[in-house]
Chain A
Amino acid sequence: AQTVTQSQPEMSVQEAETVTLSCTYDTSESDYYLFWYKQPPSRQMILVIRQEAYKQQNATENRFSVNFQKAAKSFSLKISDSQLGDAAMYFCASPGYQGGKLIFGQGTELSVKP
C-alpha cells in the first residue's frame, strides 16, 4: 500500500527564520505528483506547492520550496523568512493507486514565534 510519512508532529520557528518540514513516501509508480497542503486553524486546506516526479528541478513558490529526492523518496518543504501567517497544519500528500485518492501524511503542526 502507498504510504506518506511525516515524522515531525510539531515544529516551531522564529519569525523571519527558515524551517524545513520532512515527508517521506512509498510508491511503485514511475510517474506521480506530490503535494504540500497548508491548513490554518479552522480554515480551508490550501495547496502550497506541487512537485512532478519526472521533473528533476525542485519546485518553488515564493518563500516555499521543496527538496525532492526521488531515489530516497523524500519530499521536504522549506519555508524561508517565516511569517506569523505561516502557522498552520502542513500535510504532505501523494495520489494513491485508485484514481483520485489522495494519501495524506499525519501532518506537522507549525507554530511561528514573534
Chain B
Amino acid sequence: DTEVTQTPKHLVMGMTNKKSLKCEQHMGHRAMYWYKQKAKKPPELMFVYSYEKLSINESVPSRFSPECPNSSLLNLHLHALQPEDSALYLCASSQVSGGRKPQHFGDGTRLSIL
C-alpha cells in the first residue's frame, strides 16, 4: 500500500479549465515534493516544501501553483495549461529535505490536456 496518496489518479482537462491535484501523507514527513514525469523519462523536480514553506521552485511556469495547507497535505493548482503539460505528476515526501532521507512517492496523477 502506498503511504503517499494522490488524487485524482487520472485527469483530463481543457486548456481553459482550473483544476487541482491533491497529495496526502501521514508519515509525519516535513518535506514534500512535486515532480513532472514524461513517459520513460526521469522525474523532473518542480517544487519542494520544507516545514510547509516553499524552499525550491525550479522555474516552473505560473500556470502551476503549489500550496501546502498543513504538514500532511500538498496541492498543485492548475490553470490555463498547455498540451505539453500532459504528463504524470508525482508527489513525494521525506522525513526532512536535504537528500539524506529517501523520498517516498505516490502513484501519481496522469494528466491529459486537450
User: What class of interface size applies to chain B in its complex with A?
Assistant: 20 to 34
Chain B's closest residue to A43 (CB) is B107
State whether B102 touches A100 (Cβ < 8 A): no
Chain A's closest residue to B108 (CB) is A44
Chain A 29-42 near chain B by CB (<8 Å), digits 1 or 0:
00011010100000
Residues facing A in B76-114 (CB within 8 A) are 90, 92, 94, 97-100, 102-108
State whether A47 touches B98 (Cβ < 8 A): no
Chain B's closest residue to A107 (CB) is B42
State whether B41 touches A106 (Cβ < 8 A): yes
B59 contacts the other chain (Cβ, under 8 Å)?
no
> CA–CA, A45 to B107, complex, Å?
7
A104 contacts the other chain (Cβ, under 8 Å)?
yes
Residues facing A in B15-32 (CB within 8 A) are 31
State whether B42 touches A91 (Cβ < 8 A): yes
A20 to chain B, nearest CB (A): 20
State whether A33 touches B40 (Cβ < 8 A): no
B55 contacts the other chain (Cβ, under 8 Å)?
yes
B12 contacts the other chain (Cβ, under 8 Å)?
no
State whether A46 touches B55 (Cβ < 8 A): no
State whether B41 touches A107 (Cβ < 8 A): yes
- Checking B42, B50, B55, B98 against A104 with a beta-carbon cut-off of 8 angstroms, the contacting residue is B42
With A100-B33, A100-B97, A101-B56 in contact, do A35 and B102 touch (Cβ < 8 Å)? yes
State whether B107 touches A99 (Cβ < 8 A): no
A residues within 8 Å of B by Cβ?
32-33, 35, 37, 43-47, 50, 89, 91, 94-96, 98-102, 104-107, 109
B residues within 8 Å of A by Cβ?
2, 31, 33, 40-43, 45, 48, 50, 55-56, 90, 92, 94, 97-100, 102-108
Pull 5 A–B residue pairs with CB atoms less than 8 Å apart, ordered by A.
Answer: A32-B99, A100-B56, A101-B56, A102-B45, A107-B40
